[in-house]
Structure 1
Amino acid sequence: MSLPAFIDLTVEEQATELCSYFKALGASNVDDDQNSDLSNIVAVADLCFKEGNEGEAEGILNSIVSMLVLLPNEKAESIITTFCQKLAKPPSNKLGLICLRVLSVLFHGLDPVSSTRYTVYHTLVKVAGQVEQIKSVFTDLDKMRAQLGPCKPNNEQMQKLLRILHEALLNSRESELASKVMVELLSTYTTENASQAREEAQRCIVASLADPHTFLLDHLLTLQPVKVLEGALLHDLLTVFVTEKLSAYLKFYEEKKDFVEGLGLKHEQNLRKMRILTFMQLAENSVELPFETLEKQLQLTEDQVEEFVLQVLKTKLVRARMDQLNKKVLVSSTMHRTFGKQHWQQLRELLTTWRTHLRQVKDSMLTIVNEQAELLAQQS
């Protein structure tokens, strides 16, 4: 990758120019008459923000970047860490966007196996969150893992990164991505240290329950920090949303109304989600659902059923069609609320049957081809 440069000079000449620039801004730790150490230049890098010239500031910072990427690994870590600290809290949104571009250049300019790439990426996420540009840095977990993979961040580093990434996504109103990041964070904990993430597990559960677009929640129960909450009311409420029907939620709410509302959850939204989840569970066991059954199980009036079914179909969790004449819903397929051992066995049986049918089709086609070939041979 080509890196922006301060000016077409040698590294030594470039350092001298930078020293002159920062000395004019009042820096006392640089000397433009001698080759000042790069660490001294980096230590005053944020002085360029005071000039008010964004274009000049970006040029200065890119000049420093072009020197940082040339540092040997044993010298790079402390200097690049200091540089990131100087750019981590830009004084304005415009300067924040500059810092974002400069840090991106640095990240991609470093050796893929350099441990300092983690530090730079962490700062990138922090700055992107401040200027609400997180999508320019992060789009999905797989891509992030691929980018950071070669530099091999340890588990503690990944936890710190995922925390700040989750915060940045929430600030940017990317709730769906934020939820995925939180689940990823909780999955980094083991039985031994799961209790350390107790509060994060609680926030994850509440956010998932509150999200109007999140319906499949069984994966949360497998996370170690969530297992730590077993026996707590919040874990009981989550279990209701994972396995129970609407009637169980209504009973829980009646008995623990203050608790549910104290979590910031809205009862009407909970009702909507539980009705959809109950519908899914009913659809798992029957291909025909009479309106009368839906009225009873979902506690709806007769004139509410059709509108509700349309809402369910919009989620794409269930494929079905309504037979208004006979007052029933004909189910084609549905997502499973939970995917346990029996479901894996069913999937295995389905795939095995499918493979057998394909072999039969293949054998039949070969028979036809051979017969045609023999017929042509006889005719010739």
Structure 2
Amino acid sequence: MLPAVIQFDDILMLDSVKALRSTSQGNLVGLCEIFLSGSVDDLKDFHKKNEKLFDEHSLNFQDAMSKIRLLTLATMARGQSELPLDDIAKRIQESPTAVEPWVVRAISEGVIDGRIDQLNRKVLVKSAFLRKFEKEEWNFLDSKLSHWIENLEQVIKFLGEQKNKTEAGRTAESPSGMPDKHFDFQALTA
């Protein structure tokens, strides 16, 4: 199994891979589908039903479990700013004391971007790898880009207003660079 491969939606879109679904190798495609959107339980069930497949193709089940745990962590982190370590432990089916190394590995392998808050036993998430990029993700990206465009338009409008105010202030000044208003020094000394 290609240990570094975590992006499966592109693989599953290949015509040659689609053609494998209806062959004796169809279960390999099923395994890729689990990596695309499945869970730890899905992989365990698949392994029970297809143990021979792992042996035939020299697939290491523990390597597959490592991959699905990292991918599950990515799915959990999507759209979240914080993840309790105990919740992660439950979803990846690890003990609460053994979950931190999984988070460190996910960060080091680029599956998530964040840091561990050990005091509060949670992960502070900046971003996460998307296991699949479909219509929902395109809609999310569209809404984010639309929001950024609106913000930039507001900044441009504000800067234009500030420029106009500055230019208007300059025209109110006399040619000597001093304001046209007369300053009353006697009022200061009184």
Could you state the TM-score of these two structures normalised by the residue count of structure 1? 0.44
Aligned to 1:223: 14
Aligned to 2:120: 326
The alpha-carbon deviation at position 286 of structure 1 amounts to: 3.2
Contact 1:313 1:319 in 2 (8 A): yes
Report the secondary structure of 1:332's partner residue. strand
What is the letter of the counterpart of residue 330 of structure 1?
L
What is the letter of the counterpart of residue 354 of structure 1?
W
Residues of 2 paired with 1:259 and 1:211: CA distance?
Answer: 16
The alpha-carbon deviation at position 285 of structure 1 amounts to: 4.9
The runs of 5 or more residues in structure 2 that have no matched partner are 175-190
Relative to structure 1, the CA distance from residue 329 to residue 377 in structure 2 (aligned partners, 3 Å threshold; closer, same or farther) is same
Residues of 1 paired with 2:60 and 2:51: CA distance?
Answer: 11
Residues of 2 paired with 1:215 and 1:315: CA distance?
Answer: 10
Aligned to 1:201: none
Report the secondary structure of 1:272's partner residue. helix
Contact 1:276 1:312 in 2 (8 A): yes
Q: What is the CA deviation profile of residues 78-105 of structure 1, one whole-angstrom value per residue up to 9, with x for unaligned ones?
A: xxxxxxxxxxxxxxxxxxxxxxxxxxxx
The alpha-carbon deviation at position 253 of structure 1 amounts to: 0.7
Identity between Structure 1 and Structure 2 (%): 27
Residues of 2 paired with 1:237 and 1:211: CA distance?
Answer: 13
Mapping 1:241-280, distance limit 5 Å? 241-280=35-74
May I ask how many residue pairs the two structures share in their alignment? Answer: 171
Aligned to 1:357: 151
Contact 1:288 1:331 in 2 (8 A): yes
2:134 to 340, 343, 364: 340
Report the secondary structure of 1:300's partner residue. coil
The runs of 5 or more residues in structure 1 that have no matched partner are 1-209
Q: What is the CA deviation profile of residues 175-194 of structure 1, one whole-angstrom value per residue up to 9, with x for unaligned ones?
A: xxxxxxxxxxxxxxxxxxxx
Report the secondary structure of 2:42's partner residue. helix
Contact 2:117 2:124 in 1 (8 A): yes
Aligned to 1:283: 77
Q: What is the CA deviation profile of residues 306-342 of structure 1, one whole-angstrom value per residue up to 9, with x for unaligned ones?
A: 1111010001121111111121112111121000011
Q: Which has the higher strand share?
A: 2
Contact 2:85 2:99 in 1 (8 A): yes
Contact 2:71 2:111 in 1 (8 A): no
What is the letter of the counterpart of residue 371 of structure 1?
K
Contact 2:114 2:127 in 1 (8 A): yes
What is the letter of the counterpart of residue 347 of structure 1?
L
The alpha-carbon deviation at position 261 of structure 1 amounts to: 2.1
Residues of 2 paired with 1:261 and 1:267: CA distance?
Answer: 9
Mapping 1:84-95, distance limit 5 Å? none
Mapping 1:115-130, distance limit 5 Å? none
The alpha-carbon deviation at position 371 of structure 1 amounts to: 0.5
Cα RMSD (Å): 1.3
What is the letter of the counterpart of residue 218 of structure 1?
D
1:298 to 92, 95, 99: 92
Aligned to 1:157: none
Residues of 2 paired with 1:356 and 1:295: CA distance?
Answer: 40
Q: What is the CA deviation profile of residues 339-367 of structure 1, one whole-angstrom value per residue up to 9, with x for unaligned ones?
A: 00111111111111111111110110011
What is the letter of the counterpart of residue 61 of structure 2?
H
Q: Which has the higher helix share?
A: 1
The alpha-carbon deviation at position 269 of structure 1 amounts to: 1.1
Larger RCO, structures 1/2 (Cα 8 Å, 6+ apart): 2
Q: What is the CA deviation profile of residues 114-163 of structure 1, one whole-angstrom value per residue up to 9, with x for unaligned ones?
A: xxxxxxxxxxxxxxxxxxxxxxxxxxxxxxxxxxxxxxxxxxxxxxxxxx
Residues of 1 paired with 2:42 and 2:67: CA distance?
Answer: 13
Contact 1:261 1:267 in 2 (8 A): no
Mapping 1:1-380, distance limit 5 Å? 210-231=1-22, 232-380=26-174
Could you state the TM-score of these two structures normalised by the residue count of structure 2? 0.85
Residues of 1 paired with 2:152 and 2:113: CA distance?
Answer: 26
